[in-house]
Amino acid sequence: MSVWPAWEVREDGADGDDAGVTSWWGVRLAFPDGAQVDLLAVVSDAGVCIEDVRAQPALSLDDLAVLAEWVEGPLSEVCGVEPAGEPGASRHARPAWPRGIAGQWLVAREYRAAQEEGVDPVLAVMGATGHSRRRSLSLIAQARDTGFLTARHARR
């Protein structure tokens, strides 16, 4: 694995001190079979995030899911930040969403609010939950089944 700095942004605090530094790093993973992964990683006080990935041959979804774990430790050492994998830290970009009745009630609330604002309610639920369209539709259906949303079609 090779790592090189791409650029850095410093934010000034109110008293003139550096309030935070965000830096972008180029990373190349080269494998013995000739496969190669190039990525652009963002390192900040919050940890390491991957912004762009190019792989030859293309990565499977499983490999893409663990890509951050492959580079987080070595990249954190090079950049001098703590890995986000400390106890209690979440690796998922998806916000925490309650399960069961509480989650269904929140889905219904997001759905109705989007309808009142005149925007796509499914997209609103997707944005709130961080789930795919298919999973969001499933959550909406569960909220309907529970009675938090009216039936989509009148039944005869």
Helix (H, G, I), strand (E, B) or coil at 136: helix
**What is the pLDDT tens value at each position of the chain, 156 positions in all?**
788 888 888 776 555 555 677 888 888 888 888 888 899 888 777 777 888 899 888 887 777 777 777 777 777 777 766 655 444 444 444 556 777 888 889 999 999 999 999 999 998 888 888 788 888 899 999 999 989 998 876 665
Sign of dihedral through CA atoms 72, 62, 91, 49? positive
C-alpha–C-alpha distance, residues 89 and 138, integer Å = 28
**Predicted TM-score (pTM) of this structure:** 0.46
